[in-house]
């Protein structure tokens, strides 16, 4: 698959097979992810990989409780309240792997650089039949000092992206988008 095909085909995937994503595959995808452009060559990224099903399930429940207990602190999630109240809803889509990308705040461009790395990761994963979904809900927990300490994330690193991932269970059609809006095109 070439990069243009991957861009055309890549979608947010929320249904995965039970086949685990092997360590070697993840390492290779992360090596491709960090080929992303980086402001001033600072390469401010760091990664946490979760593959323990009990921990992933516990974290899903913990995030749901935290958001529901203080919806006012998370207005961006209020539209998903019914999902969060459902016992069947799983923050990480029942994925066997969760990739967390942190950015070193010493770089003023850490959010951009790590977002570009996440984009590279998702496109490279598409090539391997691995689907990904960016999990916004993770911000409710993964920047907590306790969580970061438990996973060896140094001080000064902030959460940028969390991806649930696994081998795609169901083929999905390519996405469609509105036509781009050009505010100006100066010749």
Tokens 């009990």 found at: 54
Please give the domain boundaries of the chain with CATH numbers for all domains: 19-167 (3.40.109.10)
Q: Are strands 45-50 and 130-134 parallel, antiparallel or unpaired?
A: unpaired
Specify the pTM: 0.95
Q: How many Cα neighbours within 13 Å face the side chain of 100?
A: 22
Ordered per-residue pLDDT tens for the chain, 187 residues: 788 888 878 888 899 999 999 999 999 999 999 999 999 999 999 999 999 999 999 999 999 999 999 999 999 999 999 999 999 999 999 999 999 999 999 999 999 999 999 999 999 999 999 999 999 999 999 999 999 999 999 999 999 999 999 999 988 888 888 999 999 999 8
């Amino acid at each position: 698959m070439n990069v243009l095909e991957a861009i055309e085909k890549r979608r947010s995937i929320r249904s995965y097979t039970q086949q685990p994503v092997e360590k070697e595959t993840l390492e290779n995808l992360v090596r491709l992810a960090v080929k992303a452009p980086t402001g001033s060559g600072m390469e401010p990224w760091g990664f946490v990989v979760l593959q323990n099903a009990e921990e992933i399930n516990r974290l899903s429940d913990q995030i749901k409780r935290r958001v529901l207990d203080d919806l006012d602190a998370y207005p961006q999630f209020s539209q998903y309240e019914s999902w969060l109240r459902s016992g069947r809803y799983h923050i990480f889509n029942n994925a066997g792997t969760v990739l967390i990308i942190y950015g070193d705040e010493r770089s003023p461009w850490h959010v951009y650089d790590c977002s570009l790395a996440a984009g590279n990761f998702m496109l490279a994963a598409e090539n391997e039949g691995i689907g990904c979904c960016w999990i916004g809900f993770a911000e409710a927990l993964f920047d907590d000092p306790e969580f970061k300490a438990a996973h060896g994330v140094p001080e000064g690193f902030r959460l940028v992206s969390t991806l649930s991932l696994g081998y795609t269970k169901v083929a999905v059609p390519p996405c469609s988008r509105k036509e781009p809006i050009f505010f100006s095109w100066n010749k």
